[in-house]
């Protein structure tokens, strides 16, 4: 089990940019196709708030949705999944298991072998190049 990082919302506001705070702490969504990075090479993606490793670049795919998409996390225990029935839709929200920051959603329309599409806000991630 992942050890939790607990901070007050005031502490998160000091750590995150205003847009990161809106997305990660207030369950916002960045605009589609606003990802500032494209193909970054081989590496991993961590939570922008707490640095927990979440996804590998080899598991990233082009979904056409406008958000970075992955078909498999580094470790399923690094993510929490919660039912999200907001906006008249039934979705599964994905949060960082360490700091409970909102990352995006997971959908059952991804490629093999998992059939999952983790649709993640780019602002919620940090890229770590493989050395």
Q: Would you please indicate which residues are annotated as catalytic (active-site) residues?
A: 119
Ordered DSSP codes for the chain: -PPP----HHHHHHHS-HHHHHHHHS---PPTT--S-----SEEEEETTT--EEEEGGGEE--SSSS-EESS-S-GGGEEEEEE-GGG--EEEEEETTT--EEEEEES---TTT--EEEE-GGGEEEEE--
User: Assign residue 100 a region: left if phi > 0, alpha if psi is -120 to 50, beta otherwise?
Assistant: left
């Amino acid at each position: 089990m992942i050890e939790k990082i607990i901070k007050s919302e005031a502490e998160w506001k000091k750590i995150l940019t205003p847009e990161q705070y809106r997305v990660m702490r207030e369950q916002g969504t960045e605009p589609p196709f606003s990802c500032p990075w494209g193909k970054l090479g081989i590496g991993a993606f961590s939570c922008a708030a707490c640095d927990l490793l979440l996804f590998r670049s080899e598991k990233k795919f082009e979904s056409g949705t406008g958000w970075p998409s992955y078909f498999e996390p580094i470790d399923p225990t690094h993510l929490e999944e919660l039912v999200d029935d907001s906006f008249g839709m039934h979705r599964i929200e994905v949060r960082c298991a360490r700091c409970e920051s909102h990352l995006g959603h997971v959908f059952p329309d991804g490629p093999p072998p998992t059939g999952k599409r983790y649709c993640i806000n780019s602002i919620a991630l940090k890229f770590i190049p493989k050395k």
